Structure 1
Amino acid sequence: MKNLVWEEVAPYGMMSVPKRSRWDLPDLMGEVGEYFDCGATVGAGDTVFDVGANVGAFAIEAARRAESDVSLFCFEPVPPIFSALSANARENAWLGGARTHLFEKAVVSQGDPDHTDLAFFRRFPTDSTCDIDEKRRDFEMFFAQKGTAFRAALTPRVGKTVAAAVGHIVTTMPQGGLGRAVSDLVTGHVRLRAPTTTLSAVVMERGVTSIDLLKIDVEGAELRVLQGISDAHWPLIRQIVLEGHDRDGRLDVIGGMLTEKGFDIAHLTQPEGADEKGLDSFLLYARRAKTNGNGRA
């Protein structure tokens, strides 16, 4: 508890986050609202899997919408963030009243090793990921967009040559060995190791009979999570809401997989602010096209 900071966030109650990190809890809860704006629903008695739970923001909102009558399975592999999630599961009024199961593990695909490398960013913990190369690409895309913006803004004032030089400096800041070293220092990058599991392993271990909503936000590893669901367990899932990155045709692969497994893509959009940051993020909501095994559409 001594490494946590607490803040009252109406109407969600008290929430904790790790110290020495940059957090804006009202903004974080606003981002969570985007998942439900896509069409995702949670009701009394539902079972929700939260993969990439972070400090529990999505889980708290799900519990609030179900008035705490919900079973939550929350997965967060980064130890400092998991500590905050655990504290919120005990102390937050909504989350503390729910049937909450916490897993300090990364969710991966079937056949993956039992441990995985993690990149934890102390100052920007919501960017922590299993795929450091993907996150570095995010940083480079962000700075490339900023470089373009600087060049456009400065050209009328200082001329094309100077503006182009400034834009180039900004664009290339996170690139190369020195740029990456500076980026690691600024973000507080730390390498960690974490145990892994698959969704199907947890379904079998805990005797889960339905997943009314599966939420995935794992900073580039979303396809690995889906590949950890066996054919026998796909029919248990009623809704999926997922934030991902459309690189190397990934969105088409995920869309094709969900369609093959009996889902309709009901909503597809960019998260708020993604375009301004130069990111290729997408937010997808899918629901089962036909009635599943528990008799619900």
Structure 2
Amino acid sequence: MTAAQTEPQRVALPDDGRLVAVTNPQDVLVWPSLSEDSPYADGIAGLGAGDVVIDVGAHIGLTALYFTDKIPGVRVLAFEPARRTNACLADNAARLMPGVRVFDVALGAEPGTAELTFLPNHTMMATIVSDDADDDRNMTAVLRNFGVDGEASEQFWREFREGAERYEVRVSTLAEVLDEEGITDVGLLKIDVERGELPVLRGLRAEQWAGVRRVVAEVHAVDGNLDAVVELLHAQGFSTKVFQEDVFVGGSVHIVSAARPGA
């Protein structure tokens, strides 16, 4: 006999009330900063119904929800390979986000498979490019910037990697996705994949770049990654703006916002 499927936990968005499926209640804490002072605001400027947004590293779908709230009729392709997180993303898309399609694959430079590291207590950090030292540096910065110290800080580190999971996921490329979906124009390519940003960008073929109007990527400045991403975007004709959100000051995480002239 097959066990009954249980619905994911749902939590109300702050100052919003909509119930969203979450991996942890803390997932919704980013909503006010995302909806009110979004790093993606420039990226969606000028987009309208029917435009395509590619959301790579969609997590539970809060960024996709922001996109569909701001642009009625937008078409979003949301990619999230972590199993539990993808289940929440699919639930949220079905109930709250018309026009969002969910994919349970990672994106990279080449198709194949990769090992994903999943931290149940910090599911936003799921990645196929694991780097414990970089994670520690960024979380140290976050705790400091939020003024967390003493016993609370000690508890955080005790629980940080508790129950860590590692399992194989399928990897596709942006080139394959655009071919399979018949997409030649991308209004916004959004990337948040914990150090896997450059491989995602390298997964586009040269002739496909002309159809990408804007890119907004969270990029980790490790191993020359930030400079390489900016150089690649410049080579493809984008102007770029690089900034760091207050929460990550002292860490490696930066936002790269790129647009074509006149976009």
**Could you state the TM-score of these two structures normalised by the residue count of structure 2?**
0.85
Are 1:22 and 1:123, in contact at CA under 8 Å, matched by a contact in 2? no
Kindly indicate whether residue 84 of structure 2 is the aligned counterpart of residue 80 of structure 1: yes
Kindly indicate whether residue 194 of structure 2 is the aligned counterpart of residue 219 of structure 1: yes
Are 2:105 and 2:171, in contact at CA under 8 Å, matched by a contact in 1? yes
Which residues of structure 1 form unaligned runs of 5+? 155-169, 291-296
1:114-263 alignment, distance < 5 Å: 114-133=112-131, 135-140=132-137, 142-143=139-140, 184-185=161-162, 188-263=163-238
The residue number in structure 2 matching 1:162 is: none
The residue number in structure 2 matching 1:279 is: 251
State the Cα distance separating 1:2 from its structure 2 match: 2.2
- The 1-side partners of 2:211 and 2:40 are apart by 20
Please state whether the residue corresponding to 1:233 is helix, strand or coil: helix
> What amino acid does structure 2 have at the position aligned with 1:102?
V
- The 2-side partners of 1:48 and 1:78 are apart by 20
The residue number in structure 2 matching 1:4 is: 8
State the Cα distance separating 1:78 from its structure 2 match: 0.4
State the Cα distance separating 1:14 from its structure 2 match: 2.6
**Pair 1:85–1:145, CA change in 2 (3 A):** closer
> What amino acid does structure 1 have at the position aligned with 2:28?
L
State the Cα distance separating 1:146 from its structure 2 match: 6.9
**Pair 1:11–1:197, CA change in 2 (3 A):** same
Please state whether the residue corresponding to 2:39 is helix, strand or coil: helix
- The 2-side partners of 1:144 and 1:35 are apart by 19
Are 1:51 and 1:215, in contact at CA under 8 Å, matched by a contact in 2? yes
Which residues of structure 2 form unaligned runs of 5+? none
> What amino acid does structure 2 have at the position aligned with 1:7?
V
**Pair 1:86–1:269, CA change in 2 (3 A):** same
State the Cα distance separating 1:139 from its structure 2 match: 1.2
Are 1:268 and 1:283, in contact at CA under 8 Å, matched by a contact in 2? yes
The percent identity for this pair of structures is 27
The residue number in structure 2 matching 1:165 is: none
CA RMSD of aligned residues (A): 2.8
Please state whether the residue corresponding to 1:192 is helix, strand or coil: strand
> What amino acid does structure 2 have at the position aligned with 1:104?
D
- The 2-side partners of 1:78 and 1:200 are apart by 21
**Could you state the TM-score of these two structures normalised by the residue count of structure 1?**
0.76
> What amino acid does structure 1 have at the position aligned with 2:247?
G
The residue number in structure 2 matching 1:101 is: 101
Are 1:29 and 1:58, in contact at CA under 8 Å, matched by a contact in 2? no
Kindly indicate whether residue 63 of structure 2 is the aligned counterpart of residue 63 of structure 1: no
State the Cα distance separating 1:30 from its structure 2 match: 1.9
**Pair 1:183–1:24, CA change in 2 (3 A):** closer
**Pair 1:184–1:203, CA change in 2 (3 A):** same
State the Cα distance separating 1:11 from its structure 2 match: 4.2
- The 2-side partners of 1:12 and 1:212 are apart by 29
The aligned length equals 250
The residue number in structure 1 matching 2:244 is: 270
**Pair 1:52–1:116, CA change in 2 (3 A):** same
**Pair 1:254–1:12, CA change in 2 (3 A):** farther
State the Cα distance separating 1:268 from its structure 2 match: 1.5
Give the one of 86, 90, 94 matched to 2:94. 90
User: Computing the radius of gyration over CA atoms, which structure comes out larger, 1 or 2?
Assistant: 1
